[in-house]
C-alpha cells in the first residue's frame, strides 16, 4: 500500500453534503502506512458533524475494496469549522459563523431553541458563544441561571470590552445582564438600535466556531441593525405548527430573502411540534396541528431542520437554569441534537456553495 493508493481510493468517498470527494476537498491528511495497517485523518467542516460514522465506514470500505482487502484501517477525525467570512473582520474578528435564531411570532420557543442549539454545537466539540440580543425579553439569564451576575470588563487594545460569562461549556452574554430588566422593555427606535449595535461590538467573544444570536421576535429594525453591524452567516427560523405562527414565519422568510438583505436561511425548525408525556414517550399528540413547519419549509424550498416536541421538562429546565441539552430527558435531547446536527451540516453547505454574507447596507429610518 502506498500513500498514492490510499488517496486514490479515498477519492471515491464523497462528502455527503458537499457533493465532492474527500481528496478533492483536501479533507485527508497524515496518512501513515505500516504493512497492512493504515491510519489517516479526515478533516471535517464541523466538529458537530453527524455523518462521521457513515464517512468512517465509507473510507474503510474504499481502502479494503480498492487497495488491500486485508487492510486494518484507522480513521481519525479532526475538524476545521468552515467559515464564509471574507470581510475585514473588523467586527467579531475571531468568530467563524454568526447564526441568528429568529421567529416571526413571539413565544414560539426561539430562545429555548437558540440556547439548546448553542449547547448542542458545543457538545459536538465546537467552541460556541450565545448572544441574547432579545432586548424586549432577554431570557438567557433565567435559562442559564445567571440572573443578577455582572460580567467583567477587560482592556483589549485600549478599549474596554465586556467579557462573556461561561456556563455549560459555552460563552454567553445577555443584554439582560447589562441593563435593568425593567428598563430594557421601554427601548424603541434609535435607542434600541444603538444599544444593540454597541452590545454586538463591545463583547470580546474571542475565537468561536459559532456565535448563536437569540434575536427579538418578529422582523423589525433591530434585525436590520444587527445585519448592518455584523455579517450574519445565516438565520435559523423557529416556528410552531399552527397557522398564526406559520403566517408570521412567512414574514421572516420574506424579510431575509429581500434583495437588499439577502441573508441565507439555514433552515426552519418546528418547535412544540407535538406533545409527548414523559410517562408515555411513544405517544405523540399534535396539539397545534401536524407538520405545519415541515409543510412551510417544503413550500419555500428551505431545509427542514426537525421537529422538537413539547415536553414539560424543556419548560422546567428553562425556568430552572438547566436547558434541555444539559438536562436528563433523552427524548428532547435527541430531537435537539438531531436538529443541531442538521443545522451544522446546512451551515457547512452554505459556506461551501454561497458567496460570503456582507454586512447589509440598506438604509433604515
268 sits near ligand ATP (criterion: CB under 6 A) = no
Q: Applying CB under 6 A, which part among 77-85, 224-232, 286-294, 311-319 lies near ligand ATP?
A: 311-319
Does 334 show up as a binding residue in the annotation? no
CA pair distance 159, 203, nearest whole angstrom: 11
Does 244 show up as a binding residue in the annotation? no
Q: With contact defined as beta carbons under 8 Å apart, do 318 and 327 qualify? A: no
Structure-block grid coordinates of residue 267: 433552515
Q: With contact defined as beta carbons under 8 Å apart, do 42 and 31 qualify? A: no
Q: With contact defined as beta carbons under 8 Å apart, do 60 and 73 qualify? A: yes
**Strand positions, DSSP E, the chain:** 28-34, 37-44, 72-79, 95-103, 128-132, 153-156, 159-162, 165-167, 170-174, 208-214, 234-239, 265-275, 304-310
Among 46, 81, 233, 271, binds ligand ATP (CB under 6 A): 271
Does 317 show up as a binding residue in the annotation? no
Among 68, 83, 112, 233, binds ligand ATP (CB under 6 A): 112
* Phi, psi (degrees; rounded to nearest 5) at 25: -85, 5
108 sits near ligand ATP (criterion: CB under 6 A) = yes
Q: Applying CB under 6 A, which part among 62-70, 262-270, 276-284, 312-320 lies near ligand ATP?
A: 312-320
Contacts of residue 346, Cβ cutoff 8 Å, sequence gap at least 6: 17, 234, 266, 267, 303, 305
Among 127, 139, 239, 357, binds ligand ATP (CB under 6 A): 139
CA pair distance 204, 156, nearest whole angstrom: 8
Does 145 show up as a binding residue in the annotation? no
311 sits near ligand ATP (criterion: CB under 6 A) = yes
162 sits near ligand ATP (criterion: CB under 6 A) = no
* Phi, psi (degrees; rounded to nearest 5) at 268: -120, 135
106 sits near ligand ATP (criterion: CB under 6 A) = yes
308 sits near ligand ATP (criterion: CB under 6 A) = yes
Among 159, 290, 315, 334, binds ligand ATP (CB under 6 A): 315
Q: Applying CB under 6 A, which part among 32-40, 67-75, 99-107, 229-237 lies near ligand ATP?
A: 99-107
Residues in contact with ligand ATP by CB under 6 A are 103, 106-112, 134, 137, 139, 217, 271-272, 308, 310-311, 314-315, 318
Q: Annotated binding site: which residue ranges?
A: 104-111
Amino acid at each position: 500500500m502506498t500513500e498514492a493508493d490510499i488517496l486514490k481510493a479515498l477519492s471515491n468517498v464523497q462528502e455527503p453534503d458537499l457533493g465532492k470527494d474527500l481528496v478533492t476537498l483536501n479533507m485527508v491528511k497524515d496518512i501513515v502506512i505500516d504493512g497492512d495497517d493504515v491510519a489517516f485523518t479526515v478533516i471535517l467542516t464541523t466538529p458537530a458533524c453527524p455523518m462521521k460514522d457513515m464517512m468512517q465506514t465509507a473510507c474503510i470500505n474504499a481502502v479494503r475494496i480498492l487497495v488491500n482487502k486485508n487492510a486494518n484501517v484507522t480513521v481519525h477525525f479532526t475538524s476545521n469549522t468552515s467559515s464564509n467570512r471574507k470581510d475585514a473582520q473588523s467586527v467579531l474578528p475571531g468568530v467563524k459563523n454568526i447564526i441568528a435564531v429568529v421567529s416571526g411570532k413571539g413565544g414560539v420557543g426561539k430562545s429555548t431553541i437558540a440556547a439548546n442549539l448553542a449547547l448542542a454545537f458545543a457538545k459536538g466539540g465546537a467552541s460556541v458563544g450565545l448572544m441574547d440580543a432579545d432586548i424586549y425579553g432577554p431570557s438567557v439569564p433565567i435559562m442559564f441561571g445567571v440572573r443578577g451576575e455582572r460580567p467583567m470588563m477587560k482592556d483589549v487594545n485600549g478599549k474596554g470590552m465586556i467579557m462573556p460569562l461561561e456556563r455549560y461549556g459555552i460563552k454567553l452574554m445577555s443584554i439582560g445582564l447589562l441593563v435593568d430588566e425593567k428598563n430594557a422593555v421601554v427601548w424603541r427606535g434609535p435607542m434600541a438600535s444603538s444599544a444593540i449595535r454597541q452590545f454586538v461590538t463591545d463583547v470580546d467573544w474571542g475565537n468561536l466556531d459559532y456565535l448563536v444570536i437569540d434575536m427579538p421576535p418578529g422582523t423589525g429594525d433591530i434585525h436590520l441593525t444587527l445585519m448592518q453591524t455584523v455579517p450574519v452567516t445565516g438565520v435559523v427560523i423557529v416556528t410552531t405548527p399552527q397557522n398564526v405562527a406559520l403566517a408570521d414565519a412567512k414574514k421572516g422568510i420574506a424579510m431575509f430573502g429581500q434583495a437588499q438583505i439577502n441573508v441565507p436561511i439555514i433552515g426552519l425548525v418546528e418547535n412544540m411540534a407535538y406533545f409527548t408525556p414523559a410517562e408515555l414517550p411513544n405517544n405523540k399528540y399534535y396539539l397545534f396541528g401536524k407538520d405545519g413547519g415541515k409543510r412551510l419549509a417544503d413550500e419555500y424550498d428551505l431545509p427542514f431542520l426537525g421537529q422538537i416536541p413539547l415536553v414539560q421538562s424543556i419548560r422546567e429546565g428553562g425556568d430552572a437554569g438547566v436547558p434541555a441539552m444539559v438536562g436528563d430527558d433523552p427524548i428532547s435531547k435527541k430531537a435537539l441534537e438531531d436538529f443541531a446536527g442538521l443545522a451544522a451540516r446546512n451551515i457547512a453547505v452554505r459556506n461551501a456553495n454561497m458567496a460570503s454574507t456582507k454586512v447589509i447596507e440598506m438604509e433604515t429610518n
